[in-house]
Amino acid sequence: MISNQERYHQYMYSYPHKTAYRQLARPVPLAAVAAALADCSELYLHIPFCSSKCGFCNLFSVAGSTELLEDYIDAVAKQAESIAQVAVPRPKSFTVGGGTPLVLSAGQLERLFTSVQEAFSLDLKSLQSCIETSPKETSPEKLDILKAYQIQRISLGVQSFWPEELAALKRHHTLQDVERALGLLKNYHFPLLNLDLIYGIPGQTRETWHKSLDRAVDYAPEEIFIYPLYIREHKTLDRHQPEMAPFYELARDFLIANGYEQKSMRRFSKDGGKSASCGFENMLALGCGGRSYLGGFHTCVPYSDRSAYIRQSIADFIAAPEIRAFTHGIYLSQEEQSRRFVMKNLFVAAGVSLLEYAESFAAELLMDFPRLLEWEAAGYVYREEGKLKLTTAGMGLSDYLAPQLISQEVTRLSKKWCDPWRT
């Protein structure tokens, strides 16, 4: 029997986690990774600001500080220009995340997009694009800008349709904010609307969860993400439901019955799988706090979830945004890259191709990962058309299974990680 704690062990939205990154013995000059920069298929822009901090959130963002937004946009422009002197990426997709990107005003959004376009001689309209927003920050003026730039996917953090549950999450929007934002978004007809919901909230019942799902489906979004509530150290929210699996199962069955396909433990989609991926492709991150994945080299400013440290990082970035060399990150060995490959592919519906693995790593998947044979025997994975895929049971156990693929070295580094806020 797998306990709730084991089942909800860790969300592997990328690999390895930033806690495994370290100060590099020698800074990596931009020129040394010019080819990888030019090869980035994704461009990510991190906006580390929110109007308030949710009780569960350990993302690299701070509440308030909106007086810094103009300087932050200037800094992003300078950062992009400094990179463009060495390599000009030709991404296929463009994602703006955070934080809450729409804390930016309409004018600031436009200035930000223009700066990135000019620095890289890009036409953002030609890219697959995605932006996150929250109910309070969604306004017609901002949506006009997103329409003008032909942003395709808008993700709205609804979390719950119950005021008591929003209050429990310390999420500072109201049901009226949600309904107003959804009404607006539906009128703008973006190609893909995603709604985020959370289960496991203190006080949430099967009935309230069912009702939240029902309300979400009423708005006919192309995509719904359901997130289990994780409790993070130092955060103001200190508990969740003791058993979260029944909430997951209720949602999975409900969404499938309503025509959604399950794409991962969290993602349910009606769009035929066209959603932009984020977290595993070669990616250049602009701004402060986003990760760049440059082939086998991953880089980011030192991770912390403490506001004081994040504020200092943002201030440092604004003061000196030009990049000449990367100073913090991790090099992935071939073995770590193979782990990343399996995590990227196995924990989504498409599954991991045995042939693709063999071609990428000149090795056999099941020889490298005998644990997968154990999972097959346990009924968590199965083989189909040359791929290994999660069963229904395995999909629901993604946060239990995926962390088992973390290497000993990455586990060691993450355990020894010391919050830079303390140093």
Contact residues for ligand SF4, defined by CB under 6 A: 50, 53-54, 57, 59, 61, 98-100, 134, 157
Q: Give the helix/strand (H/E) hosting 4.
A: helix 4-7
Q: Is the peptide bond before 228 cis (omega within 30 degrees of 0)?
A: no
**CA neighbours within 13 Å on the CB side: how many for 115?**
23
How far apart (Å, rounded) are the C-alpha atoms in residues 108 and 126? Answer: 21
Of 262, 281, 263, whose CA–CA distance to 344 is shortest?
A: 281
State whether the Cα torsion 234-237-241-242 is positive or negative: positive
Contact 48, 63 (CB under 8 A): no
For residue 169, the one-letter residue type is L
Q: Which two tokens stand for residue 32?
A: 């040394």
Long-range contacts, stretch 357-366, CB < 8 angstroms, 24+ apart: 361/334, 361/337, 363/338
| Closest C-alpha among 44, 10, 80 to residue 289 | 44
Helix (H), strand (E) at residue 228: strand 223-228
Residue 255 backbone class (left: φ over 0; alpha: ψ -120 to 50; beta: rest): alpha
